[in-house]
Amino acid sequence: MAKYFPLSHDQLKELTRTFPTPFYLYDEKSIRQNMREFTKAFSIFPEFREHFAVKACPNPYILKILSSEGCGADCSSLPELMLCVNAGIQGKNVIFTSNETPSQEYEYAAKNGNIINLDDFTHIEYLKKTLGKLPDTICFRYNPGPLKKGGNAIIGKPEEAKYGLTREQLFEAYRICRDEGVTHFGLHTMVASNELNPDFFADTAKILFELCAEIKQKLGIRIEFTDLGGGLGIPYKPDQKKVSYEEVAKKIRAYYDGIIVPAGLDPLAIYWECGRPITGPYGWLVSTAIHEKHIYREYIGLDSCMADLMRPGMYGAYHELTVSGKENAPEDSVYDVVGSLCENCDKFAVQRPLPHIDIGDLVIIHDAGAHGRAMGFNYNGKLRAGEILLREDGSFKEIRRRETIDDLFATLDLDGVSSFKA
């Protein structure tokens, strides 16, 4: 089954006359529909909120759309916190989950009343010293280590990951914060990324729920919310299936009823901080084929490169490719589809069966709406692509212009170099 794309070939060609490739395209209508489906599935809990992972698609237009659908935000840096303010996401609708965090970022989050999610035991004293006292709400990130089987190339095994507190540290951390006057508590974990098995998330929730019950029993502390992290995957490959939000919610609800309710912790708010499943399938990198090469393999060179979409070159991630206007043509050619970066890993597809590609063909790279443009970089002096939003009314809005050489050189002292004596 062909991957969804919101424009016909003629519509896409017309769009490129206004916005030359490469560019990212996002579909507002689909993002909204998907977010409503996500919210509906988890409405079986007394309180639920998705905190969109800003790192997945850090554009204030996208954040504002999601905010209007009831989303909060998950941030990991000062600029992400500032984007949320710009998009109107405020207070405890923002969770600040960072690591190795500079003091000024904690100060900004605290000033704005955001929930601070601490990644390490030593950060308790660091935060207290930074703010003068601990905030009234504290959350801790738990690393279950070998207790949680799984992990993948994106995050790694929990016991090898740099994130979170051990079980022993967690109990001592809550005790200290309770004694320091903290009155509201949360518990968070995230142990995998791009996971498609619903049982994985139910098992994660069970671990957190059992911890909540034990923390109440041993410390008298009532955890008010559990943040299940992100990690919900999307079907990048043709043989993969979309995760059923309803199935995940029902499996977690069963553990909620079996653990949280008897422990006297109901109502307990359930939070997510997903990015990939919210915008990932509804963003595309659109490029033009500008070169072909015939050596030991057949190559097609695009006008975009790994600097625009890092995932395939970084860890071999798969993205479906469509040649616009040739969706139904036979896939009778095999290509490495590459960019112009001076790195051999700059490949969007390796030995991929595709229709014959002519110079000038538009190539659509699917499922690029999360961790796509956001992970771009300027190695080789490459200028990153812009972003276009397809509005619900069918109009287009440029929500990020493409970079220019002036942008790239903005931090350099080009005037002073002429008088510099080497």
The residues annotated as belonging to the active site are 342
Element (H, E) at 281: none
- Please tell me the distance from the alpha carbon of residue 77 to that of residue 187, in angstroms, as a whole number: 20
- Cα end-to-end distance, the chain, whole Å: 60
Contact between 353 and 329 under an 8 Å Cβ cutoff? The reply is no
Q: How far is CA 144 from the centre of its chain?
A: 22
Q: Which residues contact 153 (CB under 8 A, 6 or more apart)?
A: 315, 316
> What is residue 274's three-state secondary structure?
coil
- Please tell me the distance from the alpha carbon of residue 400 to that of residue 320, in angstroms, as a whole number: 24
Contact between 5 and 11 under an 8 Å Cβ cutoff? The reply is no
- DSSP collapsed to 3 states, 370-404: CCCHHHCCCHHHCCCCEEEEECCCCCEEEEECCCC
| Phi, psi of 293, rounded to the nearest 5 degrees | -145, 135
C-alpha distances out from residue 207 to 7, 142, 210, 255, 256, Å: 44, 10, 5, 10, 11
What burial letters (b/e) apply to 327-363, b meaning 16+ CB within 10 Å?
Answer: eeeeeeeebbbbbbbeeeebbbbeebebbebeeebbb
Structure tokens at 314: 């970084």
C-alpha distances out from residue 45 to 33, 40, 269, 277, 371, Å: 20, 10, 7, 20, 29
Beta strands in 91-180 (DSSP E): 94-97, 115-118, 137-141
- Please tell me the distance from the alpha carbon of residue 48 to that of residue 44, in angstroms, as a whole number: 9
> What is residue 158's three-state secondary structure?
helix
The alpha carbon torsion through 392, 305, 315, 51 (nearest 10 deg) reads: -30
